[in-house]
Amino acid sequence: MSGSGAERPTGHSPQPLRGLGAALDVAMYVLDAQGRIVDANAQAEKLLARSAEELVDQDAHDLLRRNSRGETVPRAQCSLMQAFLTNRTAHGAQDWFERGDGSLLELSWTVTPCRIGEDAQGAVVLIHKERPDTSTITAAQDDFPSTPLTELDRLALLAETTTTLTSTLDVDDALDRLVRLVVPLLADWAVIDLITEGGDVRRIAVYHYEDGSLVRKESLEGRMPPVPQESSMPLSRALRGVSATVAGPQTYQGPPDSRVAVVQREMFEATGIHSAAIAPFRGPREVLGALTLGRADRAGEFDAGELSLLEDITRRAGLALSNAHLYQQQRRVSETMQRHLLPQLPSVTGVEMTARYLAAPNASQVGGDWYDAFVLPDGPTALVIGDVVGHDLDAAAGMAQVRNMLRALAWSHQERPAAILERLDRALLHLTDISMATIVFAHVEGTDDGQWLLRWTNAGHPPPLLVTPDGEARFLEYGHGILLGTGVAPDRNDAVITLPPLSTVVFYTDGLVESPGESIDVGLAKLREHALALAQGPLGVLCDRLLESVRPDDNSDDVAMLAFRVPAAPSADGAKPALAV
């Protein structure tokens, strides 16, 4: 693959993959069944700043994978390693790799199982840098290719198309990446039409290659006319899923058979395209749109080989777009579900209260984190922060069950918090499929002498943080017990504290303070430090700043936060604070 023909230090080199690795214009290394590198191409050597001799026969995870601080990532927390061990294809973005000079490089990757011998199982790993900002797209080539693409060129382009498009789940990003791959390599114009969920067609992107960069032509974009089933024009056929075809201005010179044909004729006139290739984006179940590549400044007509290549490209793009659409739909479902599940905070006279929820950044990871607050019939305000085990819609549904049962028990029994959680723990075992959950359940209420009491119990959850205006910040670690759902029925205890005037209490879930590979004590210390600095500011600002400055960059968990602040001490005339209303 790379370098000279010198003998490798291992006898496991996958000979059938050598030609492929040399042809790919993307960095690639190959793993054996134990996760050792058995081969690497020249692009991998260059990207990782390591020679083939330094890579081969090394454990790839131990040698390369790091977190943002340069520390080795635990294997159990490495998604690349988990995909390799489970023998499946997977993709990742913005993971850190250590180069030969000790520097860190943020890369996207694709791993897929393969055979590296007659009976040997292994995997191919493709790695590449993240793409630049798509708002200022710059083409990789300074000019149009002067010679036709070879078979190896086409193989490399298809391989990079697959790697590039499958490493994002954002539709706009995927399409921008696609344009950069094919312009100006195949054309100097690119036009993308997509079919919306309602069945309409929108021309969402038109790009032209000018002076070494891609320029977006928004004046040519917008809603397209309806596509009639009987239209025989190339774009209409492509949007119905018919095979790729070549078109030109002459295609639209006759009487138009639809308004779409009129728009196409105007597009050819505006762009000066003399030859165009139009191919459909096909998903597994439906046609998603079409890609038009046009040549105006570039000479030559599209030939049959280029048309076949375009079909291969759009077929891969269609699968990537379908995945991105499914992801976005799932994301919308998750976010909608979460909005309906999280409550409106009650109005409590004299008490400021605010809450935040930050969804996990990956997939549809809206999960089991939640907050709640409601006023009880006997006067106190109930405050809840909790986390049902899991990070998916099942966890979110489980969270709704726990929240509703806790509300019902607290409202009907009006007991101390520990007694309510004992009832909830028993109910979870018999009435739900929820495995385990952590909760802090608290009551806050004003007293006749103008003070405010907080009574709480903790079932395996990170402790609330109390911050006072005189410069004290401490975690409320009393009242702690085991999490819910274990099958054990412990006697739970309450803890009670009189809150200093103008003090703030912050409830939060572990996504705020936990970072993979790092002790939670580090996150707790960071939370305490930042909360103390923000103690005098508005409560909403405090929550926003904590999310910005405390939540670890490498944490993929969601975060729920509930904070409240009690009023100042009563005035000298003996006025008392109002109780919860």
- Choose from 182-186, 352-356, 554-558, 568-572 the range with maximum mean pLDDT: 352-356
Homologous superfamily of 15-129? PAS domain (3.30.450.20)
Q: Is 12's pLDDT higher than 80?
A: no
Residue 152 has pLDDT above 50, yes or no: yes
Determine which of 158-162, 189-193, 286-290 has the lowest per-residue pLDDT on average.
Answer: 158-162
Nearest to 581 by CA among 354, 351, 344: 351
431: exposed, middle or buried (Cβ count in 10 Å: 0-12, 13-18, 19+):
exposed
Strand partners, 209: 214
By DSSP bridging, strand 452-459 and strand 480-481 are parallel
CB 14 within 8 A of CB 37: no
Beta pairing, strands 287-295 & 189-195: antiparallel
Q: pLDDT of 203-235, one tens digit each?
A: 999 999 988 888 999 999 999 999 888 888 999
Q: What is the DSSP letter of 299?
A: -
pLDDT for 201 beyond 90:
yes
Q: Most confidently modeled of 92-96, 107-111, 296-300, 559-563?
A: 559-563
Cβ-in-10-Å burial (0-12, 13-18, 19+) of 212 comes to exposed
Question: In angstroms, rounded to a whole number, what is the distance separating the alpha carbons of residues 283 and 204?
Answer: 18
**Other beta carbons less than 10 A from residue 277's beta carbon:** 27
Contact 271, 221 (CB under 8 A): no
DSSP 36: B
Q: What are the Cα distances from residue 261, in Å, to 248, 265, 510, 540?
A: 12, 6, 57, 54
Answer yes or no: pTM beyond 0.75. Answer: no
Domain 344-565 is classified in which CATH homologous superfamily?
PPM-type phosphatase domain (3.60.40.10)
Nearest-5° angle of CA 415, CA 417, CA 419?
A: 60
Mean pLDDT of 440-468: 95
- Whether residue 317 is predicted with pLDDT greater than 70 in this model: the reply is yes
Q: Which residue has the higher pLDDT, 5 or 562?
A: 562
The answer to which of 74-88, 455-469, 541-555 has the lowest mean pLDDT is 74-88
* Residue among 142, 136, 133, 144 at smallest CA distance from 215: 136
pLDDT, residue 439, reads 96
Q: Report which DSSP code applies to 32.
A: -
Are 126 and 23 contacting, i.e. CB atoms less than 8 angstroms apart? no
Question: Is residue 4 pLDDT above 50, yes or no?
Answer: no
- At 481, list the tokens: 């017990």
How confident is the model over 466-491, as pLDDT tens digits? 999 888 999 999 999 999 988 887 88
Residue 401 has a pLDDT of 85
CATH class of 134-330: alpha beta
Rounded distance between C-alpha atoms, residue 99 and residue 5, angstroms: 23
Instruction: Tally the residues of the chain.
Output: 581
Give whichever of 11-25, 331-345, 371-385 has the largest mean pLDDT.
371-385
The reply to whether 134-330 and 344-565 are identical in fold is: no
Q: What percent of the chain has pLDDT over 70?
A: 85
Distance CA 553, CA 157 (A): 33
- Cα separation, 186 vs 13, whole angstroms: 35
So where are the chain's domains?
A: 15-129, 134-330, 344-565
Phi, psi of 267 (to 5 degrees): -65, -45
**Rounded to the nearest 5°, which phi and psi values hold at 469?**
-70, -15
